[in-house]
């Protein structure tokens, strides 16, 4: 039984390795499950025993990248607290607002795939959202509970994951407007927009103004003060 399981695990990794090469060479649209199976020297039917679709393959590769990201691991390792809640929102906003700035355009391509998925069967979008929820959802909910218990936030609704998704979808839509080479919508006051977006989301999830100002002053402080705050967050 153990040897059988090991064989399955090894074959799964073989398929993922072949898929990474195919996606890197041909992109998502230009890659087929048939081409991945050929690259892995297996039948397409055997591939489907491990991955139900091309979207499932791609989502698993993204999941592995997330799991291997040391910065994300540090972020998710922070203890549940009001400060961690602010740091989570700050990083969520920074990630999405700078997607179109990345030279390799990988994140931008994923956003385009996400939109295409929403217009079709939604499979790729569901897989991505499930991964986001499993990664960040528990820490977000626990930190929000701590913030409410500390008197730093009011309880808004009964399900904290609704607030997580409202935050996520808000900044996702901002990112989509900035995605084209000529943005479909240009926000004014660019230097302050990132902080303004954080403030908007943090108010929406119930944090009070004094707490928002205190923590965002730290998050957006330049130079050594910010570096010292980052060290404090990871202690």
DSSP codes, 15-28: HHHHHHHHHHHHTT
Residue-number span of the structural domain to which 194 is assigned: 69-233
DSSP 34-93: HHHHHHTTS-HHHHHHH-SSHHHHHHHHHHHHHHT-HHHHHHHTSPSSHHHHHHHHHHHH
| pLDDT for position 119 | 86
* 37-82 pLDDT, tens digit each: 999 999 999 999 999 999 899 888 888 877 777 888 899 899 999 9
What pLDDT does residue 3 have?
46
Write down the pLDDT at residue 114: 86
* Residue 72: predicted pLDDT: 85
Judge if 150 and 224 occupy the same domain: yes
Render pLDDT for 163-219 as a digit per residue (tens, 0 to 9).
Answer: 999 999 999 999 999 888 888 988 876 668 999 999 999 999 999 999 999 999 998
CATH number of 15's domain: 1.10.10.60
pLDDT tens readout for residues 95-132: 999 888 877 677 888 888 888 888 888 888 888 899 88
**Residue 58 belongs to a domain:** no
N- to C-terminal Cα separation, the chain: 43
The single-letter DSSP state of residue 137 is: H
Asked if residue 167 lies in contact with residue 199, where contact means CB atoms within 8 angstroms, the answer is no
CA 35 to chain centre: 28
CB 174, CB 96: distance < 8 Å: yes
pLDDT band for position 226 (50/70/90)? very low
| 145 and 200 housed in the same domain | yes
98 and 175 together in one domain: yes
Are 91 and 147 contained in the same domain? yes
CA 20/CA 49 separation, integer angstroms: 18
Quick one: 132 and 192 in the same domain? yes
| 82 and 139 housed in the same domain | yes
Residues 46, 73 within the same domain: no
């Amino acid at each position: 039984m153990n040897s059988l399981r090991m064989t399955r695990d090894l074959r799964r990794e073989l398929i993922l390795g072949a898929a990474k090469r195919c996606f890197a060479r041909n992109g998502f649209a230009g890659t087929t499950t048939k081409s991945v199976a050929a690259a892995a020297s297996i039948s397409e039917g055997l591939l489907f025993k491990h991955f139900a679709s091309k979207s499932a393959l791609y989502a698993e590769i993204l999941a592995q990248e997330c799991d291997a990201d040391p910065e994300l691991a540090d972020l998710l390792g922070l203890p549940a607290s009001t400060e961690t809640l602010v740091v989570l929102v700050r990083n969520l906003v920074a990630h999405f607002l700078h997607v179109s700035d990345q030279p390799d355009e990988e994140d931008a391509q994923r956003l385009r795939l996400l939109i295409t998925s929403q217009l079709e069967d939604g499979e790729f979008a569901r897989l991505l959202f499930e991964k986001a929820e499993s990664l960040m959802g528990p820490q977000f909910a626990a930190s929000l509970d701590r913030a409410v218990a500390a008197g730093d936030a009011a309880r808004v609704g009964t399900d904290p994951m609704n607030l997580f998704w409202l935050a996520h979808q808000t900044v996702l839509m901002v990112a989509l407007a900035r995605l084209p080479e000529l943005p479909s919508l240009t926000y004014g006051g660019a230097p302050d927009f990132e902080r303004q977006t954080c403030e908007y989301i943090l108010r929406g999830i119930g944090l009070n103004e004094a707490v928002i100002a205190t923590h965002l002053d730290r998050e957006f402080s330049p130079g050594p003060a910010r570096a010292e705050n980052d060290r404090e967050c990871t202690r």
